Amino acid sequence: MAVHASREKWPDMMKNEAGAMRWTPAAVGVTGMAEDDLSDRTQAADAESLFGTAPVESPTGPTGTTSSTSSSGISSSGISSSGISSSTWDGPSRPGTGDTSVTAVGTAPRPGLRLQHYELIRELGSGGMGTVYLARDVRLGRRVAIKFLHSEDADITRRFILEARATARCSHENIVIIYEVGELGGSPFMVLEFLQGQPLNKVLGKQRLPAARAVELMVPVVKALACAHEQGIVHRDLKPENIVVTDSGAIKVLDFGIAKVLQGNEPPEAAPAPVTGAQPRLHSVEGMGEDVSNLTRKGAIMGTMAFMSPEQWGIGVPIDNRTDIWAVGLMLFRMLAGKHPLDPLRGPQLMVTGMLDEPMPKLRTMAPDVPQELAAVVDRCLLKRKEERFPDAASLLRALEPFLPGRFSRELRVDESPYAGLSSFQEADADRFFGRTREIAALVNRINDRPLLAVVGPSGTGKSSFVRAGLVPVLKRSGIAWEALVIRPGRNPLSALASIVAPLLSSSTTIEDDLQEQQRLVERLHAEPGYVGNVLRSRARHERRRILLFVDQFEELYTLVPDARERLAFTACLSGIADDATSPIRVILSIRSDFLDRVPEDERFMAELGQGLYFLTAPHREGLRDALVQPAERAGYQFESPAMVDSMLEHLDATQGALPLLQFAATQLWEARDTTNRLLTQSAYEAMGGIAGALASHADSVLESLSPQERTLVRALFLRLVTPERTRAIVSLDELRELTKDTGEMQRLIDHLVQARLLVVQTGSGATGATVEIVHESLLHSWPMLRRWLDEGQEDSAFLEQLRNAARQWQGKNLDPHLLWRGELVEEAQRFQRRYRGELPQSQQDFLAAVFAQAKKGKRLKRALLVGSATFLGLLVVAAVVALVVIRNAQQEAERQAQAAQESEIIARAAAASAQSAETEAKQRLAEVQAKELERQKAQQAAEEANAQVALANQELLSKNDELGSALERAQEAQLRARFAKKRAEESAESEREAREEAIRAAQKLSTLLAREKERVQRLQSQLGSPVIEVLK
């Protein structure tokens, strides 16, 4: 069938690229329609640009009109996935002026404009009818979206504002919030919440959804419709593009009331026209071409062809809230069958088929696996005569709720509790897991794009239950084959990884072979951290499925694994598993928020994990209400009064670990239920002490039922099951049995506490034996007795943890003596032994005994070395004394020689003085002789005649000469003796100097010997306890 349109007859008809249509009724005829894709016949509500992830594009068509593209983020009637959209806006603007104010009709606002307390940040998208901006509310400090709508028709502007204000009165968690409506320069505008997420059509893609998931997504939409219908507002353009799944998992319905305002029908407050029951038909459709999809005059029919009800085609049948029921039915049909019921019809073919009195295809003809009851609900929504559909959204909601997840699963056994108590929910408990619908949807949306995710939250928020009983079942119901693998790091994280890989590779038939294979795998993982990822990817591709590896309680990697190299090897393996979004493998961790700061020790792992953090907060009040009420209702029971439920929820406000406490209290209530009236009663609630006292009372009652000796063992047992950081510790059953000599008694006590739901035993596999742990961490905070024990034994707790690790390493290294404690640790162990009154496991007793034995042996050796050193030092002292005596004698001899030299020098000086005096006297006498000789010569000259006298004078002269010669010889001899004495004194001084130098050299040699011996003694003392001492022994 071909379509022909008369341009002269339809001067006002326009079609936008997405197919939203508005027109004024006129004489038209239909002869055909182009085969546009059905999904392209709706105005795109692509959220990317409104979320700030795509640029704005507004290409200009050949006629000069502006058309929205799929990246504009604009929907057909006013609200997009950011909270705002636009239709078409052909009004003038003032490009290039830079004006940031709106002063005339059609003038476009600019970024930077201050509108009351809103400041425009940037344009998100635009269309012919208006422009959407991201803005900031400078008063409340939040981001908003502002949509400016242009219209020169005062009546349309007035009605737009009136109905937008009416929509703003629809306060509902599933309806986009309109903060404000106003007018600026003749252009009306709306201020709406800025949403971050994806429109439903992007979430769905082309896949079919499981029945429970489809209903889970649609029930919030129906709740929003019920609220709007109560306000007299009909959506009339409901489609997947106008439904947003936010990043937090919330469902938001957009575009309420805008299409109806633009049509110009009765205002929202008017009652719908009576139904005539006439067959819907079009009076004349000749000449209607492709331009029928976008007419903008007052009185136009608006909608999106693929989701328009028969009465929306302008045939005179009043539109009411049952039009929205039709759209809900179409969306459910598309989700459950994977396609539109009229596919492959397009455009006006849909219109003609919709108005003919022919029934719509039944859902089970295209999706026979859909439950028959649910298919009947969908088929009823798609009845052509609106009076045969559900009368209102509330009725449709009641019909859909039984098909929500968990509502049509297996039946409980007669005495089976619908509550999990203090235990974590497992995958098998999915049918009784409630209160996390929004959070599950949020994580499901993220898992496609992120290979590595972490569910982060404080203790008691239900992280493990959220993944095991919430996320995993939803993934397995998604229509894609998923396999879930669950591990906990424990004390040997690589062994935990090897335990999931070994069954995929091993062909061994004995436990011993399994253990050997697992050990080889651990060694390989140290060398090849990417090996696990290769194995899992190969399995996923071979089995044609996706694999989810859930690492539960990831904080154990930091509380139970002291070796940093072991931790880094484990995180390297996880990085190798979750390496790319295109991989069929996903890794999800659950980790307590107070341990998140430990993750950056592996920078690469933290960089990858940082993009996939999902913070799971405590359930909100409505989530807690669902978790409390719905399991009981599923089992056919009711709470005695709504006030009782409110009272229980009020006691949980701002309570740490609210969810497990609620589950435990509900379990206690269930055990005391009134089976006759099928009620959970107020009297039973009061008898158990309410929420606050339920857990503590139960633990105290269990403790009181034990004997004093058993209570002492319970104290030691619980202290062993708590780490120094006050988290749960996983301890092997064998180690706990060693706390008492009677292992059977400890086993009976553990079994009793497990039966009382205070402890849980995990059966080991492979190389791992059975382990024991406290049933839930909330017990650490809510049981006063345990808190008192922990406070009293805080010092011992830290030491015991250190002792456990040291003993384990010592035994693992074949009792290596180098791993035994020394020094201050020995002293601390001795102090601990004196004050501790509890029992220690045999392995730890053996370790301490070896430590003390080594310390005792070291003390004996130290004493022996000290005695030997003292003897040697005594001998060294004697030798030093002897050397000192020798040196002293040498010094005394040198001093004597020096004194003798000094005396000789004095004598020599005296002799020299005597010789000098004799010489002087001789010279004087010689002078006298010479004077007398002169006188004689004169006398001889004067008296020649006295010859006798002359002879006598000569005789006397000769005699004097002899005496003078003798005196001269004596003087010469004295001078020789003085020289000899001086020479002897010089030789004595030289001897003294040599003696002094010899004494100095002897003293230096002695000092060197003393220093060397002192160093040797110090080395011997410092080597006490080392392998050197073993050699000395």
Give the contacts of 87 (CB within 8 A, at least 6 positions apart).
20, 22, 76, 77, 78, 127, 128, 129, 130, 149, 262, 296
For residue 515 the two structure tokens come to 């253990």
Tell me the C-alpha distance between 231 and 803, whole Å.
Answer: 69
Give the contacts of 227 (CB within 8 A, at least 6 positions apart).
170, 171, 172, 174, 175
Q: How many helices (H) and strands (E) does the chain have?
A: 33, 23
Q: Of 392, 245, 372, 272, whose CA–CA distance to 328 is shortest?
A: 392
Contact 967, 929 (CB under 8 A): no
For residue 871 the two structure tokens come to 């003897």
Give the contacts of 53 (CB within 8 A, at least 6 positions apart).
none
User: 């593009």: which residue's tokens?
Assistant: 241
Tell me the C-alpha distance between 190 and 164, whole Å.
Answer: 8
User: 């849909």: which residue's tokens?
Assistant: 350
- Compute the Cα dihedral for 653, 655, 658, 662 and give only its sign: negative
DSSP H or E run through 184: strand 178-184
How many Å separate Cα 746 from the centre of its chain? 38
Tell me the C-alpha distance between 710 and 713, whole Å.
Answer: 5
Give the contacts of 897 (CB within 8 A, at least 6 positions apart).
988, 991, 992, 995
Contact 274, 348 (CB under 8 A): no
Determine whether 237 is an active site residue.
Answer: yes
Q: Which amino acid is at 477?
A: R
- Compute the Cα dihedral for 896, 897, 898, 902 and give only its sign: positive
Tell me the C-alpha distance between 761 and 751, whole Å.
Answer: 9
Q: Which amino acid is at 163?
A: E
Where do runs of H (alpha helix) occur along 434-578? 437-447, 463-465, 472-476, 493-505, 511-527, 531-543, 556-559, 564-577
What is the three-class DSSP state of 976? Answer: helix
Tell me the C-alpha distance between 924 and 919, whole Å.
Answer: 8
Q: Of these residues, 36, 90, 153, 237, which one is catalytic?
A: 237
Size (the chain), residues: 1033
Whole-angstrom CA distances from 208 to 199, 217, 479, 958 are 16, 13, 7, 164
Whole-angstrom CA distances from 947 to 15, 936, 943, 944, 950 are 185, 12, 8, 7, 5
Whole-angstrom CA distances from 954 to 309, 323, 944, 951, 957 are 184, 182, 14, 5, 5
Tell me the C-alpha distance between 257 and 169, whole Å.
Answer: 12
Tell me the C-alpha distance between 694 and 590, whole Å.
Answer: 27
Largest Cα separation within the chain, whole Å, is: 210
Instruction: Please tell me whether 147 is known to bind a ligand.
Output: yes
Tell me the C-alpha distance between 888 and 885, whole Å.
Answer: 5
User: In degrees rounded to 5, what are phi and psi of residue 600?
Assistant: -65, 0
User: In degrees rounded to 5, what are phi and psi of residue 54?
Assistant: -145, 145
User: 């003609």: which residue's tokens?
Assistant: 352
Tell me the C-alpha distance between 387 and 484, whole Å.
Answer: 47
Q: Which residues are catalytic?
A: 237
List, as residue ranges, the binding site for ATP.
Answer: 147
List, as residue ranges, the binding site.
Answer: 147
